[in-house]
Copies of this chain bind each other. A is one copy, B any other.
Amino acid sequence: MTTADPISGVFAALADPTRRAILARLASGEATVNELAEPFPISLQAISKHLNVLERAGLIARTREAQWRRCRIEPAPLRDIAGWVEQYRRLWEERYDTLGGYLDDLQKEQS
């Protein structure tokens, strides 16, 4: 991630399976850091770093509550990703599911 491009940060955050698992957990409700860390075989500090990445990407928000940090998912960046991918929908939606017809039809589309 060379640039400060926000969408790059979202994709980069989603590129890690641990972070996707954390998001999946948060999709079913808020959780504290320890609760999020529990399923993983890595240190709490590593989880804290993952949460930093998710937070900088805008994918989660943390609120402090006594000694706990409660984390919740923030869906806006996911919506952005969905919008980005949507640009390419026609490539698999219209017509070609077989590789055979794909090349021919793409060629035709060009001319």
Contacts and interface: CB of A to CB of B under 8 A. Distances in A.
A79 interface: yes
A37 interface: no
Interface residues of A, number: 45
A27 B79 contact: no
A88 B96 contact: no
Contact of A11 (B11, B76, B86, B99): B11
Contacts of A90: 110
B107 A92 contact: no
Contacts of A78: 85, 88, 91-92
A86 B73 contact: no
B88 A85 contact: no
A87 interface: yes
A88 to B, nearest CB: 5
Interface in A1-55: 1-3, 5, 7-9, 11-12, 14-17, 20, 23-24, 27, 29-30
